[in-house]
Structures are given as structure tokens and as C-alpha cells.
Amino acid sequence: MSQQKPHVLLLINDEHRPDVLPVEGDQQVRTPTLDRFINEGIYFRNAYTPSPICVPARQSFISGLYPRNCGSLNFGDPMPTEVRTIPGHLGNYGYYSCAAGKMHFVGKDVMHGWRERVGRDIVGDNGYPYPAVDDENTAQFQREPGTGSKQNKVIQEIRDAQPGMGYWMLHDQYAVDGALLFLEEYFVDASYDRYKPNPLCMAVSLWCPHYPYQCPLDLFTYYMQRVEPIIEEPNDKFECNDFFKVRFGEDVTHRQAHRATAAYYGMIDWMDQQFGRVIEKLEHLNVLDDFIIVFLSDHGEMLGTKGLWEKQSFFDASVRVPFSIWYPKRFGREPQVIDQNVSLVDLFPTLCDLVDIPAPDEIDGRSLAPLIEGPTDDWRNTVYSELWRVHNGPSVMVKQDNLKYFRFDNGAGWPEQLFDLSSDPNECDNLVDDPAYAEALAGLRGKVDALPPPRRKDMDNRFIDPYRPMGGD
């Protein structure tokens, strides 16, 4: 079967701490599926999420725009339909698109350019015009005592870690089962012989390893004997919302943290197996080598680092993400590690470059193809990340070369943070008061100050303000 343009497969997971991968030196986690494509592809060692929280991160990388420009600042903010997306843009150039699993769209638009969607994540009224009614015929709801949201959620999730199929794992299994059925039909359609000749853009997007910290019993027991919890104290000269702080010996026991850590590892192992099912199907259909395969996560997980759990932090455990591209027909199969700073907003223009279609003009990302084919001495080695109306927002991070700066503009008086990752990769020594870094600090503050304000939207979720570039770095 002739194929002029490559197919695209996005393997996406949720809350994958970047150093829990063999390529990062982790000797315990088992990820043979991901290892295969990382070891034959390009791995971006310093890839950063545009926002360390699910919804804005996902709207950003699918649009190539930072949250302030894509219109999704916070967990519940819908992205305007007018924003171009990877599946919508590729669809305009002949690609057929399908997303299986988590997209985390909120609002009335549950597609944002995808032609088809599979999974439990497709939720919304899609513009149903009739408002809710509250009269004598309305159903009355009474929650059973003791049910509902967990109190002290972060702490309680650690305490509740256990073996078993977690809530989101069932969603993931549903999505992968659907993805396999879709691929069989797309490339063969044996019953009707109506396969689609278009190149395919597909996402298989899983919730794992997002908490609750649960995994199958065999994986739980395997990792309980091989991993230990991270037990650290918060940095000096640092503060954040109490929501993320977990005190060992007070909030949780060592054993509870151990169980949560083992379950987290098991979830990554299980997630890799699900991606393996997809790859096995592509091999069965004899189309794997016609694909570009991208792996990424929307953000990381603190997992006890700095005494913090969950995400919404600008420390590397939360804001740095695993990110790789496999395209042997163009780049060969020799492993390559890129050390420059890159952002997930760079994915959109990179895919456009790789499939030879023009990228949109109004976009924050940059194609990574020159970096891969490098050397590129003039790479603008600056990335941003941002949080808005959430626990640690509003706040902004900028990383330039090896220096990372972030600050909180929430009026709480939390100190600014400056780290030199070349000498302090664990981000322990806040240099904000070090005179040797005064000039660099002033420059990084200036970059944050120069960022454009978030684009305003009207009541119909349409932009009032035009696109504004993210500075002249």
C-alpha cells in the first residue's frame, strides 16, 4: 500500500514523573514499549510542560500555544473553538484523526478538531439549547453520608494506596480496547472493504499514572520489593500551598508512602503494557514503519520530593516531562538525546514540519526538526510554564539555558526561586539572594515581566484580544 505522508501516533499519559524511565537512569521501572521507541528515536532531556496541571497543559500542546494565548488558563477553562489544533490542522491537509482516551476538553466543544473520539472522556452538552429546570418535577439528590470528594485529598490518596484496578485504569482499558478496534477497521475493514486511504493522525491518551495510586496485585508486589519512598524536607526559602505538603510521621506513615510509591511505579508498568497492545496491533497490520510515534506526558508528579506530592509545582519532578519522537524513515534508528530546553508547545510545528505542511502563523512553538538534524547554535534556549487560578497560582516559570526562575504573584509573600541546574540539579539551593547571580536574575525577571497578558474572552468563549507572541527571546 503506497503512503505518501506518514501516519502520526501520539502516545500520551498523565502525571508521569520524568525520571521514572530507564533512559533517565531508573533501574527498577519496566517500560519495554517506551524504551523501544526512545532507544531508536530522539529523547528530549529538558522538555517542559507549558502548565503543570492537566487541562491547560493539554490544551497548550494540542494548540502550540501557551495557556495565556490558547485561552485555557485553569483546570476548568474551555479553549475557544477558533483555536487551531494538531488534529484540526492536519485534517485540513487530508489527515483523518481519531483520539482514544483522555483529552480533558471542558466546555461545549468536546472535539477540537478530532474527527472521531473513543473513550469515557467525551463529556459535554455540545450546545444543547434547553436550560436546566428546577421545579416540583426535578429529581432530588441526596448524597449518601461518607461519600463524595476526599477531605485532605493529597494525604488521603497516599493513605488509600493499594493493589487493584484503579478508577482511571478502567477508563484506559476501555480506550485502548476501542483504539484496537478502530485501527483494525481503519486499515482493513474486512467486512466491508472500505478502509480509509488518508494518512492517520491518532492519539492514544491514558490517565495512568495519575492517582489514585493503585495497580494490579502482581505489579504492586513486584515494586514493593524494589522501590522506596522519597522522604525529603521542603527547601529553605521556599513556600507553597499547604494542599501539596505531606509530613512523614504525621500525615502519613512510611509504609503508606511506600505503598503509594510502589503503586505509582506499577501504574507506569501497566501503562506501558497498554501502549504495547497498540504497537502490537500496528505490527499485526504491517503499518508500524509508516508512523511517526510521539510519546509525552502532560506533567510530572512530585511523589514526595521536597515534601510535596501531586503536581502544580515548577520543580523538575512536576514541570519537566518525558518527551520523545520516533521517525526512522527520516532520522534513522540511532538513539539521540537532545539537551536543549524545549516545550510541549513545540510539538505542533514539529509535526507540521515532519509531515511537510505549513504550520499556523500564530503559534508559540518552534519546530524541533532543526535541533534533531543540528547542530543548532542559535536555538532560543528559553521555555516558560504558568499557573493561574489554582492552588499555587498565579505564578510563572522561565528556564533559560541552565537557570530556572519562578515566582508567585498571589500576594502570599512566597519567595522567588532561582536555581542553577548545572551545579544543583536537585534544585536545593535558592540563589535569589546570591549577588553572583544578580544580573542573571534581573534578566529572567525581565522576561517574565515582558510576557503578554492572558487573552480575554467573551461570554460565548470567543477571543476579544488578538494573539500576542510570547516575547522576543
Q: What is the pLDDT of residue 2?
A: 47
> How deeply is 353 buried, as exposed, middle or buried, from its count of CB atoms within 10 A (0-12, 13-18, 19+)?
middle
Q: What is the pLDDT of residue 105?
A: 94
Query: Residue 373 above 90 pLDDT?
Result: yes
What is the sign, positive or negative, of the torsion defined by CA atoms of 17, 391, 80, 66?
A: negative
Q: What is the pLDDT of residue 195?
A: 81
Instruction: Kindly report the number of other CB atoms within 10 A of residue 387's CB atom.
Output: 27
Q: What is the pLDDT of residue 443?
A: 98
- pLDDT band at residue 95, thresholds of 50, 70 and 90? very high
Mind listing the pLDDT tens digit for each residue in 138-177?
888 888 887 877 878 899 999 999 999 999 999 999 999 9
**Residue entry with cell 484580544:** 465
Three-state SS for 185? Answer: helix
Query: Residue 405 above 70 pLDDT?
Result: yes
Mean pLDDT of 187-200: 90
Task: Calculate Rg over the CA atoms of the chain.
Answer: 22
Q: Which residue has the higher pLDDT, 211 or 194?
A: 211
Mean pLDDT of 17-44: 98
Mean pLDDT of 434-449: 98
Q: What is the pLDDT of residue 23?
A: 98
Mean pLDDT of 112-127: 90
pTM: 0.96
Alpha-carbon gap, residue 215 to 30, rounded angstroms: 14
Compute the mean pLDDT over every residue in the chain, rounded to the nearest whole number: 95
